Structure 1
Amino acid sequence: MTQQSITGAPAEEEFETPSFGEQIATVRADYERTFDVPPEWIVAAPGRVNLIGEHTDYNAGFVFPLAIERYVVIAGGRPKQQGSKLVKVHSTLLNETVDFSLDDLKPEEVTWTSYIRGAFAGCLERGMEPGGLNLAVDSKVPLGGGLSSSAALEVATATMIEAVTGKKLDPVDKARLCQKAEHDYAGVPCGIMDQFSSSLGEAGKLLLIDCRTETAEMVSLDDLNVAVLIINTNVKHELTGGEYAERRSQCEAAAKELGVKALRDITLEKLEAYADKLEPVLFRRARHVVSENERVLKAAEALRAGDWEDVGELMYASHNSLRDDYKVSCPELDVLVNEAHRVGTEGGVIGSRMTGGGFGGCTVTLVAAGKEREIADKICQGYQKETGIEATPFVTKPARGAHIVQG
């Protein structure tokens, strides 16, 4: 196992919401510096954090994410050579420029441009012909933290192609296109949640997504007394690399044994009746998914009612299930959740859980507004004492989804 710094930035610099205007100015200047002319188009797409509902999306279940105030921003323009099919992409983070031809798009070794190439391929399949482009990409979405930096890059790329061609995609179809890009070009068999959140997110709203019907109900997070705190463990455990696909295949095997199309289609009571008939590992994987779907719906109902105590209990229960039944947590995530629980409701913590695929990345914690910094300091101090690692906290509100900024 290895531990890898995700952001490399001091916690103090990351805590407050980055200025979107400053990010736009940065990527505009970077484009002009790289390509010698101002950009014609600028687009943005956010990352996401999942409040509750982990590993349920690829089981046709329910998830409850929100887009976060951390964006991938892309500036674009035409190259000087007319009629070119070459796309040149400059990364402000890596300070490198990579190019590829639209006439030769195919999955290759996975790099940071795979997500971009996959989105171009999906748009071309839909008759959207952007032609040659110069692009400059900047991201404030932490890499490898389970906050969907890859989905944000895919959705931002598709949004750029919308701006260039003048052809607007249905937001759900854009999410599907980008999901397929991740499947085909990055080799990750992800569900629809990440791309859906980035494409359809709304300021002040969570998305209660039914992953079977691919529809979303917007649920307001309008209680000014509650804030969303995200804490990055700053570790990512590199295991065998196939844990996500393994969990997915285990769920499919369990559903087949249970005689249902997906684990979404069975209740916890019915599942318990099969406890002796399923292999123990399949039973535990299924129990997480089935119980997590129930928790998502209960959490949405509790949030609408302002029953924060119930929301918090459901978040802790979700983490325990991910740790014990789905086996995708890790010691660092567990420490952050335990430290949040130690601060407790009397200290302003409502609930906490791991978020994302697992094995590292981030926790999401609901806290009392006005106490975000105090709570983050307590949790992170306990975490550093226990692990020797400095965590990176930041706060967010539900953010606007993908949109065209200029052009």
Structure 2
Amino acid sequence: MNLIDWKKRLLTEDFQKKLNMLYPGKAKENLPRYEHLLDLFSETYPEDTAEDIHLFSAPGRTEIGGNHTDHEHGRVLAASVDLDMIGAAVPTNDGKVSILSEGYPACTIDLTDMSVRKEEVNTTAALIRGVVKRFMDLSCSISGFRAVVTSAVLPGSGISSSAAFEVLIGNIVNGLFYGGKADPVEIAQISQYAENVYFGKPSGLMDQTASSVGNILTIDFADPSNPIVEKLDVDFDSMGYSLVIINCWASHADLTDEYTAIPVEEQEVAGFFNKKVLNEVPKGAFMERIPELRKAFGDRAVLRSFHFYADTERVPRQVEALKKGDMNTFLRLVNESGRSSWMYLQNIVPCGANEHQEMAIALALCDELLAGRGAFRVHGGGFAGTCQAFVPDDMIDSFTERMNRLLGEGSCHVLSIRPTGGCELL
């Protein structure tokens, strides 16, 4: 459909139903975002308004269980959320991919040179180039496209704007040039490749899988080339708790070494047993060799390994509790995971940070304000970014008001689970 046709379609009952699937209870407030997206497309590419325009969406994600377990091929519990990136795209024949993300400079890559570029590490161009290159490796013929993107997934909000962007680009390429043949898990793997190889971040596969597959899901990464993904038929919103993400207002800048050290140290321990990742090492074997492991790799590496075993074992118990509607057990396990991250994984305070410990302050406030109810934990990578709280519905107003007053206005984001992952709005 061209621009005029899309503007008419946005007002139809059928499109409202599609929005209700993506944003349960929030369709009306998201409709203006699509109207704005089409206006932005018209302003950016006025020559393409009569072309066949395609619309896409990819959600942010929240990690619920399994902190830093995916890169060691462990288990996670995650969910897509109702904040997303949306894009409008048209195919071209100029051999270029041009994308304007609102609020950022336009980015163009030439499809004749898809090699990894050092100067593009940690840039949007690297993510685009990596996703497109991986599709090319799958014999996908890509002639070029132009797109605009707007986002409700705020950078640094801890719900993985990078994964949402990668999954969005993956869905664009899949829809425009691959006939939709790539399934959601494959799109997630393509996205991870772009982040690892081109962007230069050694991430696991959880963020991309949660964004691409959607809903509440548990993932077993024992075989990362074929992860076992199970969607959970759980109505979380009916359980009497709100999911809140709290921004601790600390920057992720210059923390790459902190994040990288976690898998490096854990994989050094695995290497002691001639294995690549901890999931390949039986916990009993690890326990028997702790004196030697401490001497070889230091205590922090051993403590981080303790966390991996405990948190990957916790995930199936969290899944079982959710399936049974046993919120008391589920919340207890969330709190256990949070304590394990702080005590053993040690991804709360960057090394040497004495004056600035923003994540620790945010967690301490959660502990105080919840007063023994609900649950809280570090969210995602740690060191900076966000923490996560499950707040009883009767406390949500007072909790968010006080947290915003104590940490700064806009600290709290109350989220809902989105039942659908990355997709094209056909």
How far does the alpha carbon of each residue in 1:66-119 deviate from its partner, in whole angstroms, 9 at most, with x for none?
Answer: 00111111111145xxx310222112122x322111111222223122212211
Q: Which residue is 2:290 aligned to?
A: 275
1:336 Cα deviation (Å)? 2.0
Runs of 5+ consecutive residues of structure 2 not aligned to the other structure: 1-24, 350-356
What TM-score do the two structures reach when normalised by structure 1?
Answer: 0.86
Is 1:235 aligned with 2:247?
A: no
Is 1:73 aligned with 2:97?
A: no
Is 1:20 aligned with 2:27?
A: no
Matched letter for residue 307 of structure 1: D
2:272 & 2:394 partners in 1: Cα distance? 49
Does the C-alpha gap of structure 1 residues 373 and 106 become closer, same or farther in structure 2, counting only changes over 3 Å?
farther
Does the C-alpha gap of structure 1 residues 380 and 309 become closer, same or farther in structure 2, counting only changes over 3 Å?
farther
Is 1:59 aligned with 2:72?
A: yes
Match of 1:326 among 341, 345, 366: 345
1:130 Cα deviation (Å)? 2.8
Q: Secondary structure at the match of 2:207?
A: helix
Q: Which residue is 2:259 aligned to?
A: 244
Q: Which residue is 1:40 aligned to?
A: 53
**How many residues get paired?**
377
**Residue correspondence of structure 1 range 132-143 to structure 2 within 5 A:** 132-143=144-155
Contact 2:192-2:208 at 8 Å conserved across structures: yes
Is 1:99 aligned with 2:108?
A: yes
Using the TM superposition, name which of 224-233 and 181-190 deviates more.
Answer: 224-233
Is 1:170 aligned with 2:183?
A: yes
Is 1:88 aligned with 2:88?
A: no
Matched letter for residue 122 of structure 1: R
Q: Which residue is 1:7 aligned to?
A: none
2:103 & 2:147 partners in 1: Cα distance? 13
How far does the alpha carbon of each residue in 1:317-346 deviate from its partner, in whole angstroms, 9 at most, with x for none?
Answer: 222222222221132222222222223367
Does the C-alpha gap of structure 1 residues 311 and 270 become closer, same or farther in structure 2, counting only changes over 3 Å?
farther
Is 1:127 aligned with 2:136?
A: no
1:128 & 1:370 partners in 2: Cα distance? 51
Q: Which residue is 1:366 aligned to?
A: 390
Is 1:344 aligned with 2:344?
A: no
Is 1:187 aligned with 2:211?
A: no
Q: Secondary structure at the match of 2:156?
A: coil
**Residue correspondence of structure 1 range 368-383 to structure 2 within 5 A:** 368-369=392-393, 371-382=395-406
Q: Which residue is 1:404 aligned to?
A: 424
1:334 & 1:310 partners in 2: Cα distance? 24
**Residue correspondence of structure 1 range 143-162 to structure 2 within 5 A:** 143-162=155-174
Using the TM superposition, name which of 122-131 and 257-266 deviates more.
Answer: 257-266
1:316 Cα deviation (Å)? 2.1
Contact 2:370-2:391 at 8 Å conserved across structures: no
**Of Structure 1 and Structure 2, which has the larger fraction of its residues in strand?**
1
1:267 Cα deviation (Å)? 5.8
**Of Structure 1 and Structure 2, which has the larger fraction of its residues in helix?**
2
Q: Which residue is 2:306 aligned to?
A: 287
Contact 2:184-2:422 at 8 Å conserved across structures: no
1:374 & 1:220 partners in 2: Cα distance? 30
Match of 2:269 among 240, 245, 254: 254
Does the C-alpha gap of structure 1 residues 197 and 42 become closer, same or farther in structure 2, counting only changes over 3 Å?
same
2:250 & 2:26 partners in 1: Cα distance? 22
Q: Secondary structure at the match of 1:243?
A: helix
Q: CA RMSD in A?
A: 2.2
1:114 & 1:23 partners in 2: Cα distance? 26
What TM-score do the two structures reach when normalised by structure 2?
Answer: 0.83
Does the C-alpha gap of structure 1 residues 134 and 370 become closer, same or farther in structure 2, counting only changes over 3 Å?
farther
Matched letter for residue 116 of structure 1: I
Does the C-alpha gap of structure 1 residues 168 and 123 become closer, same or farther in structure 2, counting only changes over 3 Å?
same
Q: Which residue is 1:5 aligned to?
A: none
Identity of aligned residues (%): 25
Q: Secondary structure at the match of 2:320?
A: helix
Higher RCO by CA contacts (8 Å cutoff, separation 6 or greater): 1
Q: Secondary structure at the match of 2:218?
A: strand
Contact 2:91-2:176 at 8 Å conserved across structures: no
